[in-house]
Each structure stands twice: as C-alpha cells, then as structure tokens.
Structure 1
Amino acid sequence: MTRGQPSPDLADWLRLTLIPGIGGERQRRLLRAFGLPGAIFQASHQALADVVGDTAARQVHDHDASEHIATTLDWLAQPGNHLLTLADAAYPPRLLEIPDPPTLLYVKGDVGLLNRPGLAIVGARSATPQGESNAAAFAGALAGSGLTIISGLALGIDAAAHTGALDADGATIAVIGTGADRIYPARNQALARHIVAHGAIVTEFPLGTQVAAHNFPRRNRIISGLAQGVLVVEAALNSGSLITARLASEQGREVFAIPGSIHSPQSKGCHRLIRDGAKLVETAEDILEEAVFAGYDAPASPPPPATDATPTGTDPDSARLLVALGHDPVSLDTLAARTGLTADALYAILLSLELDGQLARLPGGRFQRLT
C-alpha cells in the first residue's frame, strides 16, 4: 500500500511477517489455508497447528509486534515510502512467478518501476577498473533504451551499474539485504539517496534489520525475480553473483555474461556461466536482440575495448607502454621485459598515464589499462 492509503488489514500483514520462526514458506502455507492474514489470527490453535505445527501455532497468537507495526506505519506515512503485500494489485507480477515471492515489499522511491521491464546487472564487489567501466557502460546503454537496471547496491559492479543507469538519466532499482531504514555499505549512502530520488530501493526485510550474511542470498532471488534477464559482468568462482545467476536460471530468466581475461580470477565465474549455457555478450545489442526484450530500440553500444594500435596524441614511450600493457593486469617486471625500459622510466610514465585516467594501479603492484 502506498503512503496515505494503508489498507485496513495492513497491520495483520505486518504482524504475520514479524512472527519469529515463521518464514516465507510457512506464511504462504497459512495464507493458502486461511486466506487473508486477519483470518489467520482468528483461527483456533488446533487449526493453525494442523498447518504449521504446535510451536509455530503458539507463536502466531502469543507474539506481540504492536510496537514494530506502529513504527512501520509511521515510516509508511513519510513521502516516497510504500509497502506492498502479496494481495496488492501493484505487487510485481514477475515476483509472483518465482517459487518463494516475498510476503511484503518495502519500497522507497518510485514503486511503479517494479512493474517495468528490467535487466539485473551483478558482479564482483572487488571488481577491476575495467569491470566497473563495462558495468557502467552497459547499464547506461540499456537504461537509455528504456530498461530498468536492477542490482544490489554493493560495492564494485553493483554500484557501477546503478551509477551508469543514473548518469544516462535512466531508471534503476537497488534490492538490499537490510531494512529499508538501513543502508549497507555505508560508502554507498550518497548513491542510495540518488537512487531513491530517481529510482527505487526495495527490500523484504522489516525495518531495523541489520546486516547479516544469510540475508544476501535471499536478497538475490528478488534481484533476479524482478528482472527479465541477468547480466554477470565479473565474478570469481565463489561469487554470490553466481548464486543470482543460478536463481535466474531456475526462475526462467535469461542469463548473460561478459567474458574476460583467462588470467583474471574475476573472469572465471563468467567463463563457467558461458560454458554452462549463458549467452556471451560484447554489446548492448547482444542483450536486446533476445526475444524477452523484443520491442526495445537498440541503443548505441558501449565503447569498444581498446585495441593494440598505437594511441594517437600520446608520446612514443607512453604509446609503447600502453601497447605493452595489453588488457590484462601486469606487473612492473613484465612491463620492463616487454618494453626494455628501466624501472625509473616506467614509474614516471605509469604515473603520467594514471593521472591521465588511462590506467589503474591494482593491488599487488600490478597495472591495468583502462582505455
């Protein structure tokens, strides 16, 4: 329900989701058995126990959530805050398709975005500069075509995807693993405010929910569930992004992946997805040509990757070094072997190129070309 229009039974919906030990599966069982939440709380102990067991049945009647409900209704009265139940007409139909749709959705921002066609862009938190650049470029191009970009507000690829969509004056949704009154990580506070102003933040977790590792896999099913497809930009083999991709496949969503260097740990997850059937993509058109996105005008492609041609407008030593860098992270010793330049000469050129935005300094004393 939207601000200023709370339904008479909204307190019962909140009460249902706040009962300890009764998660989404049991909530849906009770709803199937009794209908709306009000009928659940009017049912006898034995009737409840027949559905969810004796211990859970006692919790249904005994747990007092009145204070939390009052706090949530106060939050709902604030501009831009919304609360959707499974019974609301505005509840995203794509989420109703997944096996475990959230009983409630807390939304800050434009609730209408949840029903627009969207693509999820996910990837590594410890992304490479090139990975973040790719995420932003794809997000900007696809948002410019009318797709809503969906991600998880994490550092790295997620933040780059949200930023790319916003920079293109497009729409973006951040699905978070905390309460709607908590933003994690703190470094993304400013980005979160920008998203609320020009998009939406969504969570299934009650107000006050703090950071907990087990909440993020649950969050991931909503990211993929809201979207028609998922693009993985960078992911290590143990990345949570692979969980999102697996959930997307199980939900019948399209899965896309951007390939990378065979030497980069952050590319191995994408390469595995491609081997397992994900579509390899190099441009935004590769995504938009899929039937699921039929009807969208293809935008301009993200800038193509740099070639090994000698860059124009660059002095000969810098140009030689850029060619020697290639597109994979390399060490100073490798650059010295490739160029024949001394360490002092290399450091001077590398610093100049770094200040010019043409390369990035990576952990472990490595360097990577950005242009």
Structure 2
Amino acid sequence: MDRAELAAWLRLVLTDGLGDNERRKLLAAFGLPQAILEQSQAALEQVVPAARARLLLKEPADLQQRLEATLEWLAASPGTRRIVTLADAGYPAALLQTEDPPLMLYMAGRAHESLGRAVAIVGSRNPTPQGRENAKRFGHAFAEAGVTVVSGLALGIDGAAHEGAIEGAAPDLLATVAVVGTGLDRVYPRQHHALAHRIAERGLLVSEYPIGTPPIGDNFPRRNRIIAALSQGTLVVEAALKSGSLITARLAAEQGKDVFAVPGSIHSPQSRGCHQLLRQGAKLVESAQDVLEDLRWVPASTRAQDEGGAEPAEGDDALLAAMGYEPVSLDALIARTGIPAPTLQAQLLELELAGHVARLPGGLLQRTAAA
C-alpha cells in the first residue's frame, strides 16, 4: 500500500475510544479507511455515536510519528516484512471466520500463500523440565510431519515448541508461526531475541499491534484468539489453573477446533490446567501421532517409537525405574532403592549432568525423557 493508504489505516486503528467492532462497521458502511475519513460528522453518526465520530475527525497526535516508524520498519527488510489489512486478498481466511478479526496484521518472515496444516502448542511459562522437553519433542515431530507449529513466543512451553519446530522442519517449509503481543519492532521477552530471528528465517512472526507498541499485559491474552484461529487444533502441554493457555484452549473450542492436553503428575501445579481441560472434554494425547491421527492427517498405525510423547524406551536402569516420572524427594528414593545417601547423590549428579534427571524447587527430582 502507498503512504496515504497506510496513514489512513493507522489513523483508524490508532484513534482512541473506538472499538474494533465499530471500526469494522465503518469499513462495512463506507469502504476503505480513506473513504471513512472523507465523510462528514453527520454521515459518521449514522454508524457510530457522535462522540466517536468527533474522535475520527481529529488526527491522533502521534500519527505522523507512528507512520514514519512503520515505513522505516517496512523499508529495513522489504523482502520479508509486510502489512496485511482486512481488505486485502492475502488476509488469512481462518481469521475472517472469527468474531473479532484484526484490522491489520504485521508480518515478518517467510512469504506464504496459506498456512495450511497447523497446530498450536501452548503452555506454562514456568514448565517442569519434562514439560519443556515434551513441548520441544511435540514441536519437532509436528514439523517433521510437515505441520506448522503456532505459538506465542513466551518463555517456557512456547519457546520450546518453536525451537523443536525449527529443528524438525524441512528447509523449504514454514516451520513455525509466533503470534506476539507487541509491535514487531521489538522482541518480548528479551531472552527470545535470538529465537525470534530464527523464526523470521524459518517461519513467521505475526502481530496485530502497530509498530512501537510496548509489552502491555492485556495484549497477550487478546492475541491468543489469533493463535487459536490459525491452527486446526490446540495442544496444551502444561498449564496452571489460571494459565493464559486455558484462554487459548477455550477460544479454540469456541471456534470449533480440537483441543488436546498432555496429562501430568497429580502433584504438579503445572498439570492441573491440563487435567481440568481433560475433565471438560479435551482429548488426552501422549504423542504427536495421536494428534495427527485425530486430525486425520496421517493414517492410524502401530508405532514402534513415540516421537512426541513423554515416555520413550528407557532401558533397565534400576534407579531411573525407581524414580518413575513424577517428582520425588531424595528421602523417598533412599526408601525405594535402599541405596546409601552419599552413593545415591553421586548417581543422581551423574544422571543430572547427562540430562536424564532434573532438579525441581523444594528439593524434588524428576526423571526426564532424555534418558
């Protein structure tokens, strides 16, 4: 779009006091934003209240600054950065089916005709070591099967899912999509700066928020509707009872999408959200194959290996067998195994260094799927 068209879209979006529903009503009534801004107040009042009409007729104070910043952002990487509006033919069709489609989408990364098969992976920002490993394995397995992984670039499960997808996808496929809650001129959280650049190379970063938008708490739950809409199913790996991941799962269900959940330890707070979803009708899964079969993307088969699940073949190590997969204390392990504390601690340290055991808060230990 040219400068004038972009300025009109930004003015419509940046006008405070207008809701997105009102903005869409104006677009339906008058056409493109440039046409809306050419209307008289009397004409605008036929669609929105008088107070809103007056707001539209006054240019936002920071409009020109935001316009210049947006043009600079686009010009910095013209081959990979773009803006798609609700009026564009390239607007994601899945979002058009939702009740609240964004007016504008900012994208950075690989160009694509359509997203195709996609699964959302979401979960706790503070996962257990096993939860993080599971998310990465599911992401890897989905991408290896040619399925795009959609998530939110948050710490924990989101980041692990993106990483697994990048590692598992073929070079020519769209590995992963990160839907973020800030403008695309910044990365949040900062710890994912390198990951965001990898996603831009192998996948796509998406935001509905204008360039220059900082991290604002309310924006992150709101972006979850986009994560759900871009995916044919949503998988929750770990989630507390008040997790934002449950919002994504609810939105997916409301959109008629499948919701999947990975069961976990009854003693882990990070598993309680998944268990609640399972009680509400989410589908229990132990592997990526379960999801792919349920979505009818692969035929049902007998698997010799669990690609995306939590329990690959383990061998006969007696200590790992005694640990099981739930968090366990050192005292409980001593009681189970009869191994003296100094000897047991030495063995556990070796297993921890090898990536087979992880330490949890409260002095607990947990066996991981890396064993």
TM-score by length of 2: 0.91
Distance 1:303 1:175, change over 3 A: closer
Q: State the percentage of identical aligned residues.
A: 52
The alpha-carbon deviation at position 195 of structure 1 amounts to 0.3
Are residue 302 (structure 1) and residue 307 (structure 2) matched? Answer: yes
1:290 CA displacement:
2.8
- Pairing of 1:1-371 with structure 2 (within 5 A): 6=2, 9-64=5-60, 65-79=63-77, 80-112=80-112, 115-170=115-170, 171-291=175-295, 293-294=296-297, 301-302=306-307, 305-306=310-311, 311-312=315-316, 319-370=317-368, 371=371
Aligned mates of 1:87, 1:337 — CA distance in 2: 67
Gap change, CA 1:147 and 1:296, over 3 Å in 2: farther
Amino acid at match of 1:261: S
Deviation at 1:307, TM superposition (A): 7.7
Q: Deviations over 1:236-281 (max 9, x none)?
A: 1111100000000111111111111222211111111111111111
2:159 is matched by which residue type in structure 1? A
User: Alpha-carbon deviation of 1:58?
Assistant: 1.5
Q: Where in structure 1 are there 5+ consecutive unaligned residues?
A: 313-318
C-alpha RMSD over aligned residues: 2.1
Distance 2:262 2:34 in 1: 48
CA contact (8 A) 1:224 1:244 kept: yes
Q: Is the 8 A contact 1:12 1:37 kept in 2?
A: yes
Structure 1 residues 169 and 207: alpha-carbon distance in aligned structure 2, compared to 1, 3 A threshold = same
Please, what TM-score do these two structures have when normalized by structure 1?
0.91
Give the superposition deviation at 1:165.
0.4
Distance 1:138 1:81 in 2: 29
Q: 1:272 to 1:206 in 2, by over 3 A?
A: same
Change (3 A) 1:130 1:113: farther
Q: 1:342 to 1:114 in 2, by over 3 A?
A: farther
Cα distance, 1:6 vs structure 2: 4.1
Give the counterpart letter for 1:363 in structure 2: P
